[in-house]
């Protein structure tokens, strides 16, 4: 957004997740699927994580696939027939890299699981990092090189609990939660924990940086992860989060620069577009019930987005910008 203006946010392009996050999410997606899926389906599932340009997206995917294979993760490809004749579909053979049948003693297996739970976040380029993803055990002999630009003191114990099938107890939004931990997902610079919340007796998603206490880990092998669980779909999208609030105005009209019209159309659908402008920009009706999620989405587009109406939402954006300017 221009300085001291209520109209626009301040970045030149929508932010994309880094390659390490995208690779983690690709592995989570392929691990959760029981049937092979094509690159087209992968791009649809991992929205905004691969380039809109087909050739660039293919190049990114090939790099991710090559890196994962180099880490010992067997991504397999098969050529489809029928209506999808000639397309390649991809899958991960879990049995080829799980450690369950390698003959380790319980003590040895526990030591390897703890090692695999260590994630060096915010590390310098080239540091060795081992990650745990969902319920899968990554080969401990492989040390992936990854730089993930955020840290959280809770990650190690959460990832260890996932590997052990151990419930976690912690304070969240002022309540004590006991959670069977199913997996984690990195999205938009935050870690999310997915699991069964015994307080709500339902599957829930917790943003890790909002956990309000130390985390206590319970007894291992206490639960079974549900069949068919899709970690990638468990964390709400931007659109879902923006709509899940109690702000008096449920939607806002936002004018988006021509360079981002395709992206926003893909996020919210053609029906969300209210008008096309002469300069190629377009006005969209987007949810804003959750002010925090709406602000993250809006400010990611920086000077490429302008709140048109209602005036109350526009004024709210001005206050956000004023607060940012005062704290800078």
Print pLDDT tens along the chain (328 aa).
444 444 444 433 444 567 777 888 888 888 777 788 899 999 988 888 888 888 888 889 888 888 777 766 778 888 877 777 778 888 886 655 554 444 556 555 555 444 444 333 333 222 223 333 333 333 333 333 233 334 567 878 888 888 889 999 999 989 999 999 988 877 655 788 899 999 999 999 888 888 999 999 999 999 998 888 887 777 766 666 666 666 677 888 999 999 889 888 888 888 899 999 999 999 999 888 877 778 877 887 777 889 999 999 888 888 887 777 776 5
Q: Are residues 219 and 175 in the same domain?
A: yes
Q: What is the pLDDT of residue 168?
A: 96
Q: Please list, in sequence order, all residues whose beta carbon lies within 8 angstroms of the beta carbon of residue 88, skipping any fewer than 6 positions away.
A: 38, 39, 77, 78, 79, 80
Sheet strand arrangement including 167-172: 202-207, 190-197, 175-187, 167-172, 216-217
- The answer as to whether 4 is a domain residue is no
The reply to whether 225 falls in a domain is yes
Residues 133 and 225 in one domain: yes
Residue 171 shares a structural domain with residue 293: no
Examine the domain organization and report whether 289 and 181 are in the same domain.
no
299 and 199, same domain (yes or no): no
Q: Is 34 within a domain?
A: yes
Q: Which residue bears the tokens 């002022």?
A: 174
Check whether residue 245 and residue 171 sit in a common domain.
Answer: no
Whether 9 is in a domain gets the answer no
- Kindly state whether residues 215 and 244 are assigned to the same domain: no
Which of 172, 202, 235 is at the close of a domain?
235
Beta strand 202-207 with 190-197 is antiparallel
Is position 8 within any domain? no
In angstroms, the CA 35 to CA 119 distance is 29
The CATH number of the domain where 309 resides is what? 3.30.70
* Structural domain span for residue 311: 239-327
Does any domain span residue 282? Answer: yes
Provide the pLDDT for residue 100: 44
Residue 311 inside a domain? The answer is: yes
How much is the pTM? 0.41
**Same-domain check for residues 215 and 243:** no
Residues 247 and 200 in one domain: no
Q: Which of 210, 235, 260 is the last residue of a domain?
A: 235
At 189 the pLDDT is 58
Number of domains into which the chain is organized: 2
277 shares a domain with 144: no
């Amino acid at each position: 957004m221009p300085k001291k203006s209520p109209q626009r946010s301040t970045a030149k392009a929508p932010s994309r997740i880094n390659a390490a996050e995208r690779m983690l999410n690709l592995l989570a997606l392929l691990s959760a699927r029981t049937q092979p899926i094509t690159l087209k389906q992968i791009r649809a599932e991992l929205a905004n994580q691969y380039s809109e340009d087909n050739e660039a997206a293919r190049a990114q995917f090939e790099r991710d696939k090559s890196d994962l294979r180099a880490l010992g993760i067997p991504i397999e490809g098969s050529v489809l027939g029928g209506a999808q004749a000639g397309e390649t579909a991809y899958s991960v053979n879990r049995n080829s890299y799980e450690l369950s049948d390698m003959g380790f003693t319980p003590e040895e297996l526990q030591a390897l699981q703890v090692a695999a739970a260590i994630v060096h976040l915010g590390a310098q380029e080239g540091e060795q990092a081992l990650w745990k993803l969902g319920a899968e055990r990554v080969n401990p002999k492989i040390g992936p090189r990854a730089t993930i630009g955020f840290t959280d003191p809770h990650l190690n114990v959460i990832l260890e609990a996932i590997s052990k099938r151990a419930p976690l107890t912690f304070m969240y939004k002022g309540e004590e939660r006991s959670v069977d931990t199913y997996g984690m997902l990195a999205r938009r610079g935050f870690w999310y924990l997915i699991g069964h919340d015994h307080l709500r007796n339902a599957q829930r998603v917790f943003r890790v940086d909002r956990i309000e206490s130390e985390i206590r880990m319970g007894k291992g092998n206490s639960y079974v992860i549900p069949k068919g669980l899709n970690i990638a779909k468990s964390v709400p999208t931007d659109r879902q989060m923006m709509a899940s609030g109690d702000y008096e105005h449920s939607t806002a009209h936002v004018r988006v620069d021509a360079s981002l019209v395709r992206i926003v159309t893909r996020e919210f659908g053609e029906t969300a577009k209210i008008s096309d402008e002469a300069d190629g920009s377009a006005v969209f009706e987007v949810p804003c019930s959750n002010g925090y999620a709406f602000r993250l989405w809006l400010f990611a587009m920086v000077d490429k987005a302008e709140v048109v109406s209602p005036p109350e939402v526009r004024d709210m954006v001005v206050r956000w910008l004023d607060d940012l300017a005062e704290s800078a």
